[in-house]
Amino acid sequence: MRIAFIGDIVGAPGRKMIEEHLKKVRAEYGVDFVIANYENASHGFGLTLKNANELVACGIDVMSGGNHTWDKKDILPLFGTHELLRPHNYPKEVPGTGCKVYEVAGEKLAILNLMGHYSMPFTDNAFRCALENVEALHEQGVKNIFIDFHAEATSEKRALLMLLQGKVSAIVGTHTHVGTDDLQIVKATGYLSDIGLTGCRDNVIGMDEKVPLKQFLTGMKGHFEIPKKCKKILQIVLFDFKEGLCSEAIKLKIFDDGRILKTEAWHD
């Protein structure tokens, strides 16, 4: 099976890039299943019903979340009507789930959404949650396992790879909005510390730079806004899985000026 993953979709610019390019990517690269992180999809904070439907119509099969999952009240009923995940290491009393299994290309595929600890909301231990759920999935006969690890620290993301290499099919980090250049396959596990945002690329993490600059210069906080006009990018990573093993991985950076940059994973 070939799956695709899109990182933090930031507001209307990110949704626009997905609308313009995702179906073409699915067709050209023979993508069987698309996962995307929704937590910044609605004006940078959370997800609304309208935008959820919009993204599904563009060809996204399931969406994962993060620390901004709860920013829009619309999200609560969507866990019962849409293929949405939230970090699985939130306490069990929290609505929704962070782990689901799907039938893709004749095999089972599990999606596990986790959230890190450094500079993030309080949750249960992500690493223990990962181990417990991966072991449970293996006992159920599920070999293909993809993890969206929504975390600030690259050290946490790298540590999860060390913990689960050879046990899951791929781990991709989200949250920082800044893509890393370490796409690799280690012991048949695909890995990328952070895929980077899909949205505006000429400011600060997809947001207008005025408020972030004021905060850095003066310590005075403000509300981040998405620019009405900006240069845009779609960042998407493709993985080939079979029987739980990742054989190939490529990352595409699609720019709104027509450029497409392709990076192939290195094998260790």
Question: Strand 2-6 to strand 232-242: parallel, antiparallel, or no bridges (unpaired)?
Answer: antiparallel
**First-residue to last-residue Cα distance in the chain:** 21
Instruction: Count structural domains, the chain.
Output: 1
Given a cut of 90, whether residue 79 has pLDDT beyond it is yes
Give the percent of the chain with pLDDT over 90. Answer: 97
Report the catalytic residues: 68
Average pLDDT of the residues in 111-140? 97
The residue range of the domain holding 95 is 2-267
Given a cut of 90, whether residue 228 has pLDDT beyond it is no
Which contiguous run of DSSP H or E holds residue 214?
helix 210-218
Q: Are 40 and 144 in contact (CB under 8 A)?
A: no
For all residues of the chain together, what is the average pLDDT?
97
- Res 242: pLDDT: 94
- Res 90: pLDDT: 97
Given a cut of 90, whether residue 268 has pLDDT beyond it is no
Q: Are 152 and 118 in contact (CB under 8 A)?
A: yes
- Neighbouring C-beta atoms of residue 230, cutoff 10 Å: 19
Q: What is the CATH number of the domain that holds 30?
A: 3.60.21.10
Pairwise CA distance, residues 169 & 22, whole Å: 23
DSSP 3-state of 36: strand
